[in-house]
């Protein structure tokens, strides 16, 4: 892990409360798709230094990270960032990563857990890898789906990538979305070859635990399940 000075080049509103931050660093950050970084505002105040996933491919000339903004002091600092501002990053961290040799993978994701998935999928598309990908992406409503444009574009460019949008709290306005939850029935219907895939699960501990149990229930071996808990996100 190294420390980097970074300058903000762009901020992107993904949903009403999810924002991405693109920065350029003084020296290149080498990381694997799926890893995360730490944004450091004040070493003397731990609450102002948080871990966030890369939401860009390591092939990009910039680094992007994304967060669901809340009323916390850390979120307020992020919200105030504008082009030209300088921040400090520490990176890379995390072992739940994608490697080129993986030929068949799936993601069980809820909400902001999509951020490392974006890094992985963008990498797969840019490298023109033939990796067979299934993404099960759950949100409360249609409007909460972050990176919808990118995900739809990548599906159109790469037939080996399939995305299932799941909406849990209300009948979705978009008929392409599935109303319900990520469950055994859905996995067996859309991913009948579960036992042959490597599954990635990113998110808060309870969600990760539930999805991990679901993987085991549909016949995925423990060694084929990769998890990363988002704590204090």
Q: What is the pLDDT of residue 40?
A: 97
What is the Cα–Cα distance from 221 to 198, expressed in whole angstroms?
A: 9
Euclidean distance between the first and final Cα of the chain, in Å? Answer: 20
Rounded to an integer, what distance in angstroms lies between the CA atom of residue 219 and that of residue 35?
27
The stretch 91-119 carries a mean pLDDT of: 96
Span 2-93: which CATH code?
A: 2.40.30.10
List the alpha helices (DSSP H) in the chain.
73-79, 114-126, 148-157, 184-190, 205-217
- Where along the chain do its domains lie? 2-93, 104-229
Please say if the pLDDT value at position 168 is more than 80: yes
Average pLDDT over residues 128-149: 96
Provide the sign of the torsion angle of the four alpha carbons 126, 186, 19, 16, taken in this order. Answer: positive
Compute the half-sphere exposure of residue 111: CA atoms within 13 Å on the CB side of its CA: 16
Question: What pTM was estimated for this model as a whole?
Answer: 0.96
pLDDT for residue 233: 56
| pLDDT value for 66 | 98
Residue 2 has pLDDT above 70, yes or no: yes
Element at 78 (helix H, strand E): helix 73-79
CA distance 179 to 61: 38
The pLDDT assigned to 172 comes to: 81
Q: What is the pLDDT of residues 16-68, one digit of tens each?
A: 999 999 999 999 999 999 999 999 999 899 999 999 999 999 999 999 999 99
Q: Which fold has domain 104-229?
A: Rossmann fold (3.40.50)
Distance CA 156, CA 161 (A): 9
């Amino acid at each position: 892990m190294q420390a980097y000075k970074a300058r903000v080049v762009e901020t992107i509103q993904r949903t009403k409360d999810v924002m991405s931050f693109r920065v350029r660093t003084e020296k290149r950050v080498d990381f694997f798709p799926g890893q995360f970084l730490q944004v450091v505002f004040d070493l003397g105040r731990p609450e102002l230094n948080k871990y966030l996933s890369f939401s860009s491919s390591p092939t990009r000339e910039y680094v992007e990270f994304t967060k669901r903004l809340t009323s916390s002091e850390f979120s307020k600092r992020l919200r105030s960032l504008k082009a030209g501002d300088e921040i400090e990053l520490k990176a890379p961290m995390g072992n739940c990563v994608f490697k080129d040799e993986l030929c068949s993978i799936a993601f069980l994701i809820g909400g902001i857990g999509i951020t490392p998935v974006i890094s992985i999928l963008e990498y797969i598309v840019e490298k023109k890898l033939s990796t067979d990908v299934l993404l099960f992406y759950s949100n409360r409503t249609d409007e909460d789906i972050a990176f919808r444009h990118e995900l739809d574009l990548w599906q159109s460019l790469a037939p080996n990538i399939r995305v299932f949008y799941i909406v849990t709290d209300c009948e979705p306005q978009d008929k392409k979305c599935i109303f319900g939850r990520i469950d055994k029935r859905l996995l067996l219907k859309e991913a009948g070859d579960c036992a042959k895939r490597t599954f990635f699960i990113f998110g808060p501990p309870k969600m990760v635990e539930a999805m991990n149990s679901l993987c085991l229930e549909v016949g995925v071996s423990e060694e084929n399940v990769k998890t990363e808990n988002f704590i204090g996100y």
